[in-house]
Amino acid sequence: MAEAAVATTTLEQDKHTASQRNINRVWEYTQSFLAISVIVVVLGVNASVAIYGKSVSEISSSALMQLNVLGALVVGFYFGRTNHQRVGGVDVGR
């Protein structure tokens, strides 16, 4: 008969790790919601300019370009942060 594995952490450490995972989960959902919201707005503005914009003034062109840069930054940082080749996770030490 195989022996049960001996615990290497205390109950308090297990609670701490579980609460960190919960906070990480909430933060991940918040970041994904914000990233999706920004991209939806950027695509919506670009689509409306493409469909209804007869002539775009210099100020509108500059604002549209800044909005597109914002969308590119959000996508770049979000995918860079969620890169699964970079190992992260819950920090064991305090």
The answer to whether position 45 is within a domain reads yes
CB contact at 8 A, 39 and 71: yes
Count of domains in the chain?
A: 1
Task: Report, as an integer, the average pLDDT of 2-27.
Answer: 85
34-70 tens-digit pLDDT: 999 999 999 999 888 888 877 768 778 888 899 999 9
Question: H-type helices in the chain, by residue range?
Answer: 11-52, 58-81
Domain range enclosing 42:
38-83
Cα 22 to Cα 62: distance, rounded to the nearest angstrom: 41
pTM for this model (two decimals): 0.68
Query: At 8, is the pLDDT very low, low, confident or very high (cuts 50, 70, 90)?
Result: confident
Residue 15 lies in a domain: no
The verdict on residue 53 lying in a domain is yes
